[in-house]
Amino acid sequence: MAGTHHVIRWPERFLPSQSPVHVVNELLIQAPAEMVWEWLARASGWPHWYPNSRNVRIAGGAVGLTIDAEFDWVTFGVPVHSRVVEFTAPLSVAWTARAPGLDAYHAWLLEPVAGGTRVLTEETQHGWLARLNAFLFPRRMHRHHQIWLEQLGRMARTGTHPGMRILRAT
């Protein structure tokens, strides 16, 4: 895994250069990529440690993300429907997010490096709600994504929850 370099495979519509909203956050987490992945891919647990997510419900009652998994959740106070469109454990995951006035693409890259895992998350958005939020609260998404990264790091450094297993692509 060391030396592996993944890039975000943006759908053309969501290329940062084509999107009115683009947010980038990055953090070095002092934990192995597999541990970071366990906490990130287990979306049903996000509300327990990431305060900007609520009511995460993965179709079929699953607890973790997989390719094509669909999930409904509330983030930034908005009910959103998402679908996983990229899933390469433990290196990358991306999903679409749709709500009235919002069409988004959120990608995560995990890169094993000396001292832990470099985690990059980027999101692009279209729609009237996306533009309104960016205008009224220009740094809010960046701030909350940074909290997500920091909390992810805190959880990954605690180790594996007894009920967790590494979610892998099948």
pLDDT per residue over 136-150, tens digit each? 999 999 999 999 999
- To the question of domain 18-158 being in CATH 2.60.120.10, the answer is no
| pLDDT number for residue 1 | 39
List the one residue out of 86, 124, 130, 131 whose CA is nearest residue 106. Answer: 124
97 pairs with which residues across the strands?
Answer: 82, 104
Q: CB of 56 within 8 A of CB of 44?
A: yes
| pLDDT number for residue 166 | 47
Rounded average pLDDT over 64-73:
97
Rounded average pLDDT over 62-78:
96
118 pairs with which residues across the strands?
Answer: 28, 111
| pLDDT number for residue 162 | 45
Q: CB of 42 within 8 A of CB of 164?
A: yes
Mean pLDDT score across all residues of the chain: 91
Dihedral angle, C-alpha 10, 13, 17, 23, nearest 10 °: -70
| pLDDT number for residue 161 | 60
Q: CB of 95 within 8 A of CB of 88?
A: no
In the chain, how long is the greatest CA-to-CA distance? 43
- Where does the pLDDT of residue 159 fall: very low under 50, low under 70, confident under 90, or very high at 90 and above? confident
Would the pTM count as exceeding 0.75? yes
Q: CB of 67 within 8 A of CB of 79?
A: no
pLDDT per residue over 9-52, tens digit each? 999 999 999 999 999 999 999 999 999 999 999 999 999 999 99
Q: Tally the residues of the chain.
A: 170
Query: Does position 160 have pLDDT exceeding 80, yes or no?
Result: no
Rounded average pLDDT over 69-84:
97
| pLDDT number for residue 5 | 62
